[in-house]
Structure 1
Amino acid sequence: MSVTPQSPAEKITAWLEAKLGGRVLRISRQSRWRPVWFADLERNGETLALCVRGERTDMPMIFPLDHEMRFQALLQQHGIPVAKVHGWIDDPRAYVMDRVPGSEDFSKSTEEERQAVVDDYLQMLARIHQLPLEPFVAAGIRRAPEPGQSGRIGIQRYEEIYRSRKRNPEPFMEFCLGWLKRHWPDTRGREAPVLWDTGQFHHAGGRIVAALDLELGHLGDPMMDLAGWRIRDTVIGYGDFKRLYGRYEELTGRPVDMDAIRIYYFAFTLTNHLALGAALRDPAPESDLMINLRWCSETDLFATEALAEILGIELAEVAVPAVSPSPVARSHEHLIQSLRQIKTGDDYVNHQLHVAFRLARHLQRHEEIGAALEAADLDDLEALLGQRPSNWQGGEEELERFVLADAGTGQYDRALVPLFYRRNRRAQLLLGPEGSAMTRHFPAQRFDT
């Protein structure tokens, strides 16, 4: 007689009841791209709110999931506000922690509350950066061979994944990596536990409840933490970074290294594309292709804007072409409206339907203006290369060859930065209707203002 295999939720339920005791009252999967389950466990008359965090499905893990768990547990042991870790599950590969209350943004906060929370977060970062290295080393937390390379280990891991999965030309990533390798900052011997993907937390009552999403935590240069959250600031809004950096100096008694922060910020803008580039071209079934495209298009623009500011280049706005008529335009619109109207009682299915709706709008926009934007890209390449590639595939191949030939010197940096900015902005314009959330760009705070 055949036995029906257990679902991931059933396996997690069995683990929770066996290892933590009590009875699982409810468990549900979060309706998003990464396997995460929320569970309520009744034990000794109390209800434990738990989060079970699984491995990513659309990209390899930068550091193993159990590395994230160990890093988080060490922070917890040293009094840093993070979710309490309860243990590791072998199948499905996941770890169990407390589900943290509080708000993830400041949409319902007063200005005074926002400032208090951000200051509390800075105090937390300052404490993390002063923790002893030995317990982290003993737990196998990743570090560079020597402190002078502490700022490189994370981005080098991203590049390893990028190289292992690369099957097509990626001229923009090759250009950015070439520039970065010519301009690595001097760490001046700095090394400390770092979160790297900073700015993620829940807060309540003007205080940090817990720092979240610690998957990139390792031993690095603390200036990386001061750079990373500039990206998330475009949607959260932490305040004036010059003031925040000044406050960090007060808390630590050490000056911030603005030259290093500029480079680390640029490096961090590359991480989405390095990790997800292969998934954009060949998405896995559960991949949220549209959110990945949105993230990569936005951070690609951050990267070009960061280099433009470093090099003193003014970037011109990109024109939106007129819509090209199509014999199937009405059919395409009908598909989009049909997807918009379908609703189910399952949050995960509703999420997948929303992914399909966004994808349909992306394809519709490509049909409307894709040919014009492709022609504009080829115009740019003709001006740079002295000849016009026959199509977009040939254009990518020729541009990557050009970039790789220039990687050692950067002779053409000032020509390539505006070119890549236009290409990246055109790619973003294809993600949805003009003015939609998918196509709006929110520039990051500049360093020179």
Structure 2
Amino acid sequence: MSKTDAVISDWITQEVGGRVTSMTRQSRWRPTWFVDVERNGEALGVVVRGERGAGIPMQFPLSHEMALQRVMGAHRIPVPSVYGWIDELPAYVMERVDGQPGFDGLTTDQRDAVMRDYMAALAELHRLPLQPFVDAGVYRASSPAESGRLGMKRFEEVWRAGKNAPNPLLEFVLGWLRRHPVDSRGRESAIVWDSGQLHQKDGRFVALLDLEAGHIGDPMMDLAAPRMRDTVLHFGDFNTLYAEYERAGGYPVDIDAVQLHHIAFTLTNELAFRNSLNDPSPESDYMTNLHWCSETNLHAMEALAERIGLDLEPPDTPDVPPTRAATAHRQLVEMLRDPGSEDEYARYRLRVAFRLARYLQREDEIGAEVTNADLDDLVPLLGHRPGTWQDGDAALERFVLDDDGHHDAQLCQLFYRRLIRHKASLGPPGSAMVAHHVCQPFTPYPPETPQRRSR
């Protein structure tokens, strides 16, 4: 038993009671352990949730997440019950809820029923009094007028504190958001913020999960964040979901604020992971983080283009002959394809290496052409062609910072083209790594009906 396992086992024995019968570290980048406990002749499932690690700082302390979850549970919001805090790790301990995060095996009607209950849970959360959350130390903006910007402020502060390379894309969209701030109209409530994370079991809504970004903010944020997660989980039509939220007693839906929150939220992966991607630690899941950033950065450009009424035009993908290293890359990929280990976490780490090898293989194939195309695209804006991609990023960032919105459409198109090329470099054509899933477009809310149009 490792030292960490011993700390967890001792804490659970003393604070939860019962005997630890098994413990498994979750196969992912964030340290999480699933623990089975026998207590008074009954089986009990426990989750131990640690800090991110891997050189990826958190926007809100882990203890803040636990405090928010505990207050939500005390007010009958369906979240896992909190057992307490393990100082030595640090980590907090909660019950393990049944179910699964997606809707596999459910009919559309069953999915819709789960989502009705989920939207009702959000509406109930948004109606709760603020004082218990304030008393628990949950973060709150300095004034209700700022409630819609607290989450992004925290993400930007953490990114800037560790910024280690030019990032013209982030500077562009963050600058656009500063020029087009969301108006929360004084709305304030406890919010999940990174919403759309839930468990259902057999078509029954079980619990809200993963509250690490939750705080006191604009409730419209909880209606915006699921739009990206919907591209893989498929929650249903969002106007229908918004109507269910209102019907359950939620705030009147402010679709303009929802759209601005959606644009902002598309940046959160880039803000959270880019500094680590520029200087990764050995234990980081490089390709998962890179994939998340590539996908959601594309969502950012598509969301911004939708807002400003711009039709985006994708570039051609390079098609080039094999390089000298192609044979060696192919052998490395095949060596890593089948981990052959019985240890779940070891298999996960080997899978990380396999995906990294496939990325390097593809970068070897088209990387030079992608870089040259990116640099060529800079000439109309900058008036010259930088010599390297590093010089190009630095020059483009300087241009963005000096531009103040004069070339928004041109820059949006430019970044879209760059991101499409980059996406093509993440893996072989047809692989999950290079697939892109477009978010549902915004439509008028409430939806227009013949009766409304005739008035």
Q: Normalization by structure 2: what TM-score?
A: 0.96
Identical-pair percentage: 53
- 1:327-406 equivalences under 5 Å are 327-406=324-403
Letter in 2 for 1:375: N
1:386: how far off?
Answer: 1.1
Q: Equivalent residue for 2:11?
A: 15
The alpha-carbon distance between structure 1 residues 51 and 414, as it changes in their structure 2 partners (threshold 3 A), is same
The amino acid of 1:65's aligned partner reads L
- State the partner residue of 1:133: 130
2:452 aligns with none
Which residue, out of 190, 201, 212, partners 1:193? 190
For residues 72 and 116 of structure 2, what CA distance do their matches in structure 1 show? 19
- Report the Cα offset of residue 100 of structure 1: 1.0
Give the equivalent residue in structure 1 for 2:102: 105
Contact preservation (8 Å) 1:75, 1:82:
yes
Matched, 1:33 2:26: no
Counterparts of 1:44 and 1:391, CA distance in 2: 66
1:262 pairs with 2:259: yes
| Segments ≥4 residues shifted beyond 4 Å | none
Query: What is the aligned counterpart of 1:444 among 428, 439, 444?
Result: 439
What does residue range 47-62 of structure 1 map to in structure 2 within 5 Å? 47-58=43-54, 59-62=56-59
Task: State the distance in 2 between where 1:335 and 1:220 align.
Answer: 48
Q: What is the identity, as a one-letter code, of the residue corresponding to 1:423?
A: R
- Counterpart of 1:79 in structure 2 is 76
Give distance in 1, aligned partners of 2:182 and 2:260: 7
Structure 1 letter corresponding to 2:435? R
Residue pairs, 1:24-423, within 5 angstroms:
24-58=20-54, 59-252=56-249, 254-406=251-403, 409-423=404-418
> What is the root-mean-square deviation in Å for CA atoms of aligned residues?
1.2
SS in 1 for 2:127: coil
Displacement after TM superposition at 1:250 (Å): 2.2
2:329–2:361 contact (8 Å) kept in structure 1: yes
The C-alpha deviation readout for 1:349-374, integer Å capped at 9, x for no partner, is 11011110000000010110111111
Give, in whole Å, the separation in 2 of the partners of 1:253 and 1:65.
28
Q: Distance in 2 between matches of 1:236 and 1:426?
A: 25
User: How many angstroms apart in 1 are the aligned matches of 2:320 and 2:348?
Assistant: 29
The gaps in structure 1 that reach 5 residues or longer are none
Whole-Å separation in 1 of the counterparts to 2:62 and 2:321 = 47
- CA distance, structure 2, for counterparts of residue 364 and residue 117 of structure 1: 42
**1:6 Cα shift?**
5.2
What amino acid is aligned across from residue 441 of structure 2 in structure 1?
Answer: R
> How far, CA to CA, are the matches of 2:14 and 2:258 in structure 1?
47
Unaligned runs of 5+ in 2: 445-455
Secondary structure of the corresponding residue to residue 432 of structure 2: coil
C-alpha distance after superposition, 1:104-128 (max 9, x if no partner): 1011111111000000001101100
Is the Cα–Cα contact under 8 Å of residues 9 and 28 in structure 1 kept in the other structure?
Answer: no
Secondary structure of 1:28's counterpart equals: strand
For residues 186 and 43 of structure 1, what CA distance do their matches in structure 2 show?
51
Of 413, 431, 436, the residue aligned with 2:426 is 431
Task: State the distance in 2 between where 1:244 and 1:39 align.
Answer: 35
Q: Which amino acid aligns with 1:436?
A: S
